[in-house]
Structure formats: structure tokens, C-alpha cells
Amino acid sequence: MRRHALARLGIAAVAGVLLAACGTETAEPLPEPEVVRVASEPQPAPDVPDAELPAARGPMWTAPFDDVPRAAGDMLVGLVYPTDEQADLSVVGVDASGSTRWAVRTNPACVGYGVTNSGGRAVAVVLASDADNRNGRIAAVTTANAYDAHDGDRVWGPVSVPGPMQGPGLIFGMNTPSIVGGAQGEKVMLSAAAGTPVKPPRAGAAPLYEHEGIGLFGGDGIVTAVDTRSGSVLWESSALTLPEDWNVTRPMAALADGADASDSGVVALRWSDADAIDRMALHDLRTGRLIAALGDEPEPRTAVDTGSGTVVVTGLDGFRVARAFDLASGVQLWEDASSGGMLDLMLAHQGVGYGTRGGRSVAIDLRTGQPLGDGDWPVPVVASAGAMVSALPPTPGDVTSKRSAGTGPRFGAYQRG
């Protein structure tokens, strides 16, 4: 799995303008999205030159999304932007065959959405608000609503939240209307199980990270992991074992900056002390166990593949080196310092890593680092249990309406070969 910068480009373009409209809360009735049952046939496979991927079959069908989707079990969940015919924003669920099963239609001001796991089932979390972009009305009420990713059934909600989904995970909060540099306000983390607010483990601790029912809170140099269903503390950074050669006294911890530093159940913590020693390490989100000590790396990029039990960290040593570690033991599996350019992974899935190097698309074996192929094919950016999705080149002559201006690229879906 990998939350890569590309996976946020389409949302960012629209969200910068619209998220400010999804803001405060009052005692007004809670708005809810509209759920629509859909049984559409898969769209035909795209005709794209040089579209064959190593270790994959396809493209099999064209995905209907207007932005990079997210994986939710065996489903793909993504946005369909408003059009001349449909004024609402839609969050849709598509199965591995390419059939759209459901759509949740909501206020176009609420482009943020997420996926998580609730009681063993994959769910999509969609925002709703009473904002009206047509007359410039900013939201007075914003809610989070969870739906079963398989069939669109409601799981929980509506739950009032103080603003849009800020993430990582089920973290919501307020921004000022400023697109850049908006001041941060109240933040709340919701439980994936029931949508209830999660109480911070200590006074003043702020939500930092959430993934499938485990949340991180931080403040005053302490990071604490909690089970968001029960609220029980799983671990605290002050009690974790660190490498002896770090010689850190009274260590202080913080979640590493950068959206790509942590991924899924692996989090990057930055450690420091009064002597200004600064070290980065990867930890297991559930247990706090040290997986890999990275040294003083400023901007690691982490990609986790639970299927092969591998975590790959790129952007090391001045963006020249990548290293892979076994998730269970922390043993280093391989190092890549190729002179051909930095390896930049966009997807780690079922033992194969897809990304770019020196302007070329590449695929590697995640356990060995050995190349599986390179070329000019579109790099996969997300994968469910049954399909991988790549962004495709634009079709010459494509014209969008004024309402759908900014619609993202087409996406082709593949199956692992």
C-alpha cells in the first residue's frame, strides 16, 4: 500500500477552493448524503499504447473515477465530480470486475472522504454539509457518515465533526478560509468502529494519525497509541526501546512530517533530546515495536506491503538510496543505490513494487529488490484485493463542460498476472 503524493493531486485542486465551505458546527439538524444503489456494467478497457504492466494482466476495464481512488477490501472507492447532468459530488464503490455497485451523493463542498475498517468490514467515510456553493453559503453543520464499501449500507453516522477530513485517517478539523497557510483549529479523531469521538489519552494531546481503529496522539514530546474502539492505551513513546548506539537521554518523540513518511500500520517517529540529537525510526503502529532505525533522515518515504511482509523506505541519503526491511523481524532485505536515478515507489502490492526511476516506469520484487521490468507504461497508483489502477494519458480532443472542468485523468484497471 502507498499513500503517494499523486493520490492527492486531484483532490487538492478542488479541495483548496471547497474545503473552507465544510467547516463549523451548530445544533441544526445533521445533514446526510444520499445513497443510490447502482448496477452499472464495467466500462470497456481503454485503448492505450504501451499499457501492459509487468506481473499484471490488462488493462481489463476503464475505471469511472475522476481522481485517484482508494482501496477498501476488494472494492475501489473514489470520486466522480459534478457534471451538467448531476450537480452533486459522488463517492462510488466499484468491484474488481469494474461494476459500480453504489454511489453516495453529497454536497460538492465536501470533497474529502476516506476508507477504513470497522468491525472487520471495509467502509467508506463520506462528509456531508449544509453549505451551498451556488450562493456562497459556508457550512454551519458538517457530518461524517460511514458506509459498507461492498454494498453501500450505512454503518454509522451522521456524526457531527468540526470540519473537513484532514487525516491521516479519521481526523477532522477546521481551517480558516485561506487556501494556503490557514490557521488550525479544533481537531477530533473518530472511532472507526462506531464513529464516536476518541478521547485524548492526556490533556492537551492532539490527534496525529489514525489507521483502521488505532490512533496516535501527541504533545510535549510524547506520542501515545490508543485503541479507538475502547480508548485503551496501546503504548507510549516514553516506554519504547530505542537503539543503544543512539545514546539518547530523555528522548522526545513526534510523528514525522511529510504525508509519505508513515504508511498504513507503520509510522515514522522523529526522536530528539536535550542534546539536539535527531533520529528517525519506523515503528509498528499497534505495538510500538521498532522496525527500522533510519538515522537522521529528513524525508523518508515509506511503502508497506503486508502481503509480502515488507516495508520499503525511499528518499534516503540525499534521495539516492532505498532500503527494504522485513516487517516482522526488522531485518534489512536489500539496499538500492543505483546510479540510474532515485527509486520512487507509488504502489507496493502483493510482493511487487511499481514506481519510477530516471523517468522510466519500473517494477521490482519487494523481497529481493530485483527488477521485474521497465518501460513507458502507466504506473499503478492504488490496488484493491482484486484490481490495480493506473492513471492513463489524456485522450487528445477531450473537452470538459464548465461544471466538470478540472476533471482528472482516466484510469485503467489491471489484474495481477
CATH number of the structural domain spanning residue 363: 2.40.10.480
On whether both 324 and 239 belong to a single domain, the answer is no
Q: Consecutive 10-residue runs of the chain (417 residues): their mean pLDDT?
A: 46 40 56 83 81 83 93 95 87 95 88 90 93 69 94 95 93 65 75 96 95 96 97 96 81 91 96 82 97 92 96 93 97 91 92 94 96 92 92 64 50 85
Taking a C-beta distance cutoff of 8 angstroms, is the pair 173, 167 a contact?
no
Task: Give the per-residue pLDDT at 276.
Answer: 66
Show the domain range for 88. 1-197
On whether both 216 and 349 belong to a single domain, the answer is no
Taking a C-beta distance cutoff of 8 angstroms, is the pair 409, 392 a contact?
yes
- 43 forms beta bridges with 62
The DSSP 8-state label assigned to residue 17 in this structure reads: H
Assess if residue 362 is contained within a domain: yes
Assess if residue 363 is contained within a domain: yes
On whether both 277 and 315 belong to a single domain, the answer is no
Q: Which of 299, 329, 364 delimits the end of a domain? A: 299
Nearest residue to 112 via CA among 63, 145, 154:
145
Residue 250, phi-psi category: left (phi > 0), alpha (psi -120 to 50), beta (remainder): left
Show Cβ contacts of residue 115 under 8 Å, excluding neighbours closer than 6 positions.
Answer: 70, 71, 72, 77, 122, 123, 124, 125, 149
On whether both 386 and 332 belong to a single domain, the answer is yes
On whether both 248 and 277 belong to a single domain, the answer is yes
CA–CA separation, 284 and 265 (whole Å): 6
Task: Give the per-residue pLDDT at 140.
Answer: 77
Task: Give the per-residue pLDDT at 84.
Answer: 82
Assess if residue 410 is contained within a domain: no
On whether both 21 and 165 belong to a single domain, the answer is yes
Task: Give the per-residue pLDDT at 298.
Answer: 86
Cell digits for 130? 449544509
CA–CA separation, 150 and 76 (whole Å): 9
Assess if residue 202 is contained within a domain: no
On whether both 232 and 319 belong to a single domain, the answer is no
For 334, other C-beta atoms within 10 Å of its C-beta total 17
On whether both 11 and 120 belong to a single domain, the answer is yes
The 3-class secondary structure across 134-145, one letter per residue, is CCCECCCCEEEE
Separate counts of helices (H) and strands (E) for the chain? 2, 31
On whether both 167 and 313 belong to a single domain, the answer is no
Task: Give the per-residue pLDDT at 271.
Answer: 94
Assess if residue 406 is contained within a domain: no
Show Cβ contacts of residue 183 under 8 Å, excluding neighbours closer than 6 positions.
Answer: 175, 176
Assess if residue 414 is contained within a domain: no
Residue 296, phi-psi category: left (phi > 0), alpha (psi -120 to 50), beta (remainder): alpha
CA–CA separation, 317 and 296 (whole Å): 9
Q: Which of 152, 176, 197 delimits the end of a domain? A: 197
On whether both 182 and 212 belong to a single domain, the answer is no
Task: Give the per-residue pLDDT at 333.
Answer: 98
DSSP string computed for 229-288: TT--EEEEGGG----GGG--SS-EEEEPSSTTS-BTTEEEEEEE-TT--EEEEEEETTT-
Domain count, the chain: 3
Task: Give the per-residue pLDDT at 352.
Answer: 96
Confidence (pTM): 0.87
On whether both 112 and 188 belong to a single domain, the answer is yes
Assess if residue 98 is contained within a domain: yes
Assess if residue 401 is contained within a domain: no
**In the chain, what are the helix, strand and coil shares in percent, each to the nearest 5?**
5, 45, 50
Q: Which of 156, 178, 197 delimits the end of a domain? A: 197
On whether both 127 and 52 belong to a single domain, the answer is yes
Cell digits for 52? 501492459
